[in-house]
Amino acid sequence: MPLLELLRLAIESLRANRMRTGLTMLGLIIGVAAVVLLLALGNGARNAITREFEGMGTNLIIIQPGRTEARRSMGHGMGATREKLTLEDVRALQRQAYSLAAVTGMVFGQVKAKVLDRVVDTQLLGSNEQMLQIFAWKLGQGQFFTEEDDLAGRRVAVLGSQTARSLFGDADPLGKLVKLNESEHRVVGIMRRAGQTFGISTDDVIFIPNRSAMRILNVDRLFGIRAKARSRGNVEDTVAEIKAVLTERHAGEEDFTVTTQASMLQSLDSILRMLTWVLGGIAMISMVVGGIGIMNIMLVSVTERTREIGIRRAVGARRRDIQRQFLLEAVLISLTGGLIGLASSWTLSLAVGWILPAFNMKAPGWALWPAFTSAFFVGAAFGVWPARKASRIATIDALRFE
Amino acid sequence: MALIELEQVTQEYRLGPTRVLALDQVSLKIEKGEFVSVIGPSGSGKSTLMNVLGLLEVPNSGHYRLNGIDVTTLDDDEASMLRNQTIGFVFQSFHLLPRLSALRNVELPLIYSASHDKTWTRKAVSERAVHALERVGLSGRSHHRPNELSGGERQRVAIARALVNSPSLLLADEPTGNLDSKTGAEILTLFEELHHQGTTLLLVTHDAANAARAHRTLKFLDGHLAGDILRAAS
């Protein structure tokens, strides 16, 4: 039978039952819309997170002691004493790694900060003067400590805005003394209030020079080294340079790990992408449910139209003509439902974008086609069985069916 | 060569443990152009005869030759094609598709002809359907749906559908059973006209008066062919 005639038959019977057709479609409309919207949601979240992360600078380089691969295969014991980064490593990088714009050692630790009778438990962060530049953090008042402060081991401190408030209340902390464990430090600056970015808050921290921090915390090694490449373009070359300098200092052994912001961004991005896929997968379930709805209705429809099938067979329709007609009806329902689903999800995501301009919830273009085609295939797959059933009905029984 | 030739045709049903012999070794011949009526009480096998003749059922045993072709050997697709090309049905309850216009109902057999007719065109389908409606005197009602037509008009649409593919055999199963006597008489007159135009007709009926309008009557009883009466041509 010509496709056009078949199409006409299918459309005729779908139009004859508008209500039922519409309700059946609804399942797939919701399925397709859910897929597109959830993918858009995942995508929007990914864009937002990535953008924030990028704000921290993509030329950040992180050096941690210990080689991740080696650690995995050989355990902790071997070379544990050598697996350390020191201020001498930082000094060597400053002198020899020309592609670095800034580099600092870092130590972390819990500390009791005391002003008069107020005691606050907070984080101590030891670094050199280049810390601010590397993380693009902003100073609020006063100044940050200098290279000279660090080299001379001067007891100065820069407070996070929240730490300053909890220690000094409304009083001006600049020039005042704060006791860190048993060591007294003079407050020279206060950080600008920044809020939290990825678990690192500069609000509840006390910054002091590296050497003082190592003394207070009683450690002989750095927590890690942070550096900033001069340009975004050749971060890989910079990494190679760092590795060369440090390996030479560590007797030829690469007992440290260099990570770049770019590679972290990449792995974060792949995690978020996976999240998007998971959301899409969940939405696919609703598509399958929509498909089952189609099958359900088509099965009812086959029973309801038994007599029609009998009449068609009596005037000469072959089994395959009946099968094709019912299959085409299922496909038409799912195609139309898919299109409406696309249109409505598109409009909805535009509306969300209009109401919340900050959240860039754009339906990703690549999601539209698979959402639509899977609607089609779901409809076709769940249409096969009812169509087969329709074609198997015996003609005389169908004609007698009331 | 006879149009229809049944040879020892037996059709048996199983209803639970009991067997019902619907057709018991029936042999008969019907020539082209005959107007034959079939009568008998219900359960006598006349409906089964019609189903077998209309290729809706394959008999358990025996042979059925239609235009010389042994149709008991055909597969489902071939039987569908033959049904489409050579047989027209008229049923007691019309069996029209309620959502389609009279014209679309009449077009139906022609639409399924497309699979085995190389000269098939959409335009020819409409033309032939219009012509068939003219033949049964319904040209003015072609765009009405069945529920907008009277019983007699519905049966005329069904007859037009049966005729549209110029079948060799028109099978009518109690075509006047759902009609009042006046309309029924009109339909029978239409059948007579078709007979005069050369159509081979088989009319299954309860009504002896209706049966008498055919020139030959087959009487069925308990699955047997119990009588075969020939009348002078009317």
- The CA distance from B167 to B162, in Å, is 8
CB contact under 8 Å between A395 and B95, yes or no, is no
Residues in A closer than 8 angstroms to B84, CB to CB, are 315-317
- The CA distance from A255 to A84, in Å, is 8
CB contact under 8 Å between B83 and A13, yes or no, is no
- The CA distance from A175 to A164, in Å, is 12
- CA dist B177 → A182, A396, B173 (Å): 113, 19, 9
CB contact under 8 Å between A1 and B114, yes or no, is yes
Task: Say yes or no: B59 contacts chain A, CB-CB below 8 A.
Answer: no
- Best probe of the A interface among B80, B107, B204, by most A CBs < 10 A, is B80
Instruction: Record the tokens describing residue A75, joined without a space.
Output: 């355990």
Name the minimum distance, in Å, from the CA of B135 to any CA of chain A. 19
Q: Does the pLDDT of residue A130 top 70, yes or no?
A: yes
Q: Is A261 helix (H, G, I), strand (E, B) or coil?
A: helix
* Helical residues (DSSP H) of B164-222, grouped into ranges: 181-196, 208-211
User: Parallel, antiparallel, or unpaired: how do β-strands B169-173 and B87-90 relate?
Assistant: parallel
- CA dist A89 → A86, A148, A212 (Å): 5, 18, 17
Mean pLDDT of chain A: 85
B20 band by pLDDT with thresholds 50, 70 and 90: confident
Instruction: Record the tokens describing residue A124, joined without a space.
Output: 């101590």
Closest CA to B22 of B1, B2, B51: B51
Handedness of CA B194, B197, B200, B206 (dihedral sign): positive
pLDDT at B74: 92
Residues in A closer than 8 angstroms to B115, CB to CB, are 1, 318, 321
CB-based contact B214:B37 (threshold 8 Å): yes
CB contact under 8 Å between B56 and A396, yes or no, is yes
Over residues A119-140, the mean pLDDT reads 89
Q: Which of B84, B91, B104 sits opposite A316 (nearest CB)?
A: B84
- The CA distance from A95 to A100, in Å, is 10
- The CA distance from B163 to A21, in Å, is 34
Mean pLDDT of chain B: 91
Instruction: Record the tokens describing residue B79, joined without a space.
Output: 């039987």
Residues in B closer than 8 angstroms to A308, CB to CB, are 97
Contacts of A333 (CB under 8 A, 6+ apart): A14, A21, A24, A25, A28, A294, A379
CB contact under 8 Å between B97 and A311, yes or no, is yes
* A39-67 confidence digits (pLDDT tens): 888 888 888 777 777 766 668 888 999 87
Lowest mean pLDDT among A178-182, A268-272, B81-85, B86-90: A268-272
As a whole number of Å, the end-to-end CA separation of chain A is 28
Residues in A closer than 8 angstroms to B111, CB to CB, are 1, 5, 9
CB-based contact B177:B146 (threshold 8 Å): no
- CA dist A164 → A170, A198, A203, A254, B107 (Å): 9, 22, 9, 41, 90
Q: Does the pLDDT of residue A367 top 90, yes or no?
A: no
* B143-189 confidence digits (pLDDT tens): 999 999 999 999 999 999 999 999 999 999 999 988 998 999 999 99
- The CA distance from A374 to A331, in Å, is 11
pLDDT at A56: 65
pLDDT at A358: 66
A68 band by pLDDT with thresholds 50, 70 and 90: low
Task: Say yes or no: A388 contacts chain B, CB-CB below 8 A.
Answer: no
Residue B89's Cβ-count burial label (10 Å; 0-12, 13-18, 19+) is buried
Handedness of CA A59, A60, A66, A72 (dihedral sign): negative
Over residues A141-152, the mean pLDDT reads 89
CB contact under 8 Å between A310 and B95, yes or no, is yes
* B39-76 confidence digits (pLDDT tens): 999 889 898 999 999 999 999 999 999 999 999 899 99
Task: Say yes or no: A16 contacts chain B, CB-CB below 8 A.
Answer: yes
pLDDT at A145: 92
Q: Does the pLDDT of residue A72 top 50, yes or no?
A: no
- The CA distance from B51 to B48, in Å, is 5
* A296-316 confidence digits (pLDDT tens): 999 999 999 999 999 999 999
Name the minimum distance, in Å, from the CA of B2 to any CA of chain A. 23
Task: Say yes or no: B79 contacts chain A, CB-CB below 8 A.
Answer: no
* A76-118 confidence digits (pLDDT tens): 444 444 678 999 999 999 998 888 889 999 999 999 999 988 8
